Structure 1
């Protein structure tokens, strides 16, 4: 009897509390991560400070999650699980290999450190769901895996690199935006599918690509995140032009935490400025592939309120990919290709430093 080869794919995301009881654990994981909460302090000072901030922010964050209507938690884990199911079905259709697709988070549950998530290699592949490389996302994921398995997985055949510069990613994103405005997306596939549409043609509106911000301290350490965002937007804009888009595009950064200097311009200042000019504003979450707190609450509610109160002609939130079939197909191609072509240290090139066990040193 012939037995199918078995492989496991693990989709990695930052995470989110599934219930209000997980909020403090999630925030503690977030702020104690040295690649996220990067401060020039020794660990014996940084870690207690991180835990203190997490505990202090929990009540405020709890109120925000309660207002979203997902039972006091975030929908991100559930949305990632939907992507996992779609990708598993597609991979098992496309190949003779028997695929199992799991979900792991670097903050909260199910945590990437759990024993069920095995060592990266040819039969266990990790795919971070971050289009653009950043120390705070991709390098953080690699650090978790290195600490767990005592080696950096880049080049092992078990780690899929970020894909912001991929032409097909640009084409799919442009197509997704166009299909949103032409009514071709399946509304039932999305959370809180936006009802608002621009008062003028979307092709003449101002399109804001809003990315999650990061501290400038990370950029100074060699993080190429801003270049990744800029190249993504340039490529997507080029593809949108082919589809008839004639409006202006803008890049901004959201979700700043704390007093330190972060990537700019801020999405809040960008939205306010365009609104005062009476623009019809479209916002696309360039660094997110599934809807959650930052897209539904921050963009969909906070930015919308600011825009309409500041004089915008209209405001439209474009959803994140979710289980959009061309995007799932794109990920499947990336998985099948793997990282076997990597022959250098991407961490040093894209994040500014190599991890201790880098195989390319």
Structure 2
């Protein structure tokens, strides 16, 4: 029996992924799936296979498992439960004319299961919303790639609209600014650091519009030629956030974290920059991670704890992480408005 056309619009929220548990075998499984993605480590497939399976996953998994155990809560992985909470709140806000599903690019719940959920609802069309504010081939591009890989086997493929970035969306900016103002109202911070997840420089250059990217002043403005440049998007988010927080240019910095391997990654590196602050008289720092809309290992542990320890050891006095947007009401409304605009 054929399903009745519901007239609903499907919304697919996508985030990166998380291990099923913080135990080493599950962490190893997650790392293998993640790092074997050709858009994440863009080298020869044979070399990538042996690098991941022979070196990185076996040796990194036990160390990462220790960190994941620090992150884990009674509800499990924050990236997962914040995503589920966002889905449920967005569903309630959008109402019966929409069906919201949530999937992860790696591990569970999978993008495939989320798409099947939308297909079961017989939605008229699908709005794909990867929860990555700044476009990168290794995140947004990979999610788009996976979705097209899945739906190509559907007999009927509905209209699909991809949201590729929202780095300067007013609602997104205000959601982070609102959280930052809460801390700025309580303490006089010497400086604000906007720390973004790093990427290899070659990823940026590969996506450059006919050589426009120079990994330099080309990111001083955000325009049609660098709209999909991750570095330019990070600087644009920072400019918009600084304006919303009434920060002058000398009151904030932009840096990049979480590099892997020996190849050059986007600079400056957050862990190196923060160590220079105390000698410059910067003793109190408010840190944001605006590449992440949900708290995870890179925000809570890396920026919130590891960077704090480095800063204090270098002579700093106070390091405060601004939590991510998670599923707070301002962010839910921002997501709703982005969906409605699309």
TM-score, scaled to structure 2: 0.82
Q: Conserved in 2, the CA contact under 8 Å of 1:124 and 1:158?
A: yes
Q: Conserved in 1, the CA contact under 8 Å of 2:72 and 2:78?
A: no
| 1:311 pairs with 2:310 | no
Counterparts of 1:281 and 1:180 in 2: how far apart (Å)? 11
Q: 1:102 is paired with a residue of what secondary structure?
A: strand
Alpha-carbon distance, 1:276 to partner:
3.0
Q: 1:65 is paired with a residue of what secondary structure?
A: helix
Counterpart selection for 2:240 from 235, 245, 265: 235
The aligned counterpart of 1:218 is: 203
Aligned residues: 308
Counterparts of 1:285 and 1:143 in 2: how far apart (Å)? 25
CA shift digits 1:146-179 (9 cap, x unpaired): 222239xxx9443223111324433333233113
Cα gap change, 1:77 to 1:137, in 2 (>3 Å) = same
CA shift digits 1:12-37 (9 cap, x unpaired): 00011131252122101111111111
Q: Once structures 1 and 2 are overlaid, which stretch shifts more, 311-320 or 156-165?
A: 156-165
Counterparts of 1:323 and 1:69 in 2: how far apart (Å)? 18
Cα gap change, 1:71 to 1:59, in 2 (>3 Å) = farther
Alpha-carbon distance, 1:71 to partner:
6.7
Q: Conserved in 2, the CA contact under 8 Å of 1:283 and 1:316?
A: yes
Cα gap change, 1:44 to 1:295, in 2 (>3 Å) = same
Counterparts of 2:58 and 2:75 in 1: how far apart (Å)? 17
Counterparts of 1:121 and 1:36 in 2: how far apart (Å)? 31
Counterparts of 2:75 and 2:181 in 1: how far apart (Å)? 33
Q: Conserved in 1, the CA contact under 8 Å of 2:28 and 2:58?
A: yes
Counterpart selection for 2:181 from 173, 178, 181: 178
Counterparts of 2:304 and 2:104 in 1: how far apart (Å)? 24
Q: Once structures 1 and 2 are overlaid, which stretch shifts more, 306-315 or 114-123?
A: 114-123
Q: 2:17 is paired with a residue of what secondary structure?
A: coil
State the superposition RMSD in angstroms. Answer: 2.7
The aligned counterpart of 2:264 is: 261
Alignment of structure 1 residues 1-361 onto 2, 5 Å: 5-19=7-21, 20=23, 21-39=25-43, 41=44, 43-52=45-54, 53-70=56-73, 74-92=77-95, 97-114=96-113, 116=116, 122-150=124-152, 156-182=159-185, 198=187, 201-202=188-189, 205-222=190-207, 224-241=229-246, 248-279=251-282, 280-338=284-342
Alpha-carbon distance, 1:302 to partner:
0.5
Structure 1 stretches lacking a partner, 5+ long: 183-196, 339-361
Q: Conserved in 2, the CA contact under 8 Å of 1:165 and 1:232?
A: yes
CA shift digits 1:203-222 (9 cap, x unpaired): xx200000000111101101
Alpha-carbon distance, 1:99 to partner:
2.8
Q: Conserved in 2, the CA contact under 8 Å of 1:299 and 1:317?
A: yes
Q: Once structures 1 and 2 are overlaid, which stretch shifts more, 173-182 or 221-230?
A: 173-182
Cα gap change, 1:180 to 1:321, in 2 (>3 Å) = farther
Q: 2:245 is paired with a residue of what secondary structure?
A: helix
Cα gap change, 1:62 to 1:248, in 2 (>3 Å) = same
Cα gap change, 1:245 to 1:220, in 2 (>3 Å) = closer
TM-score, scaled to structure 1: 0.78
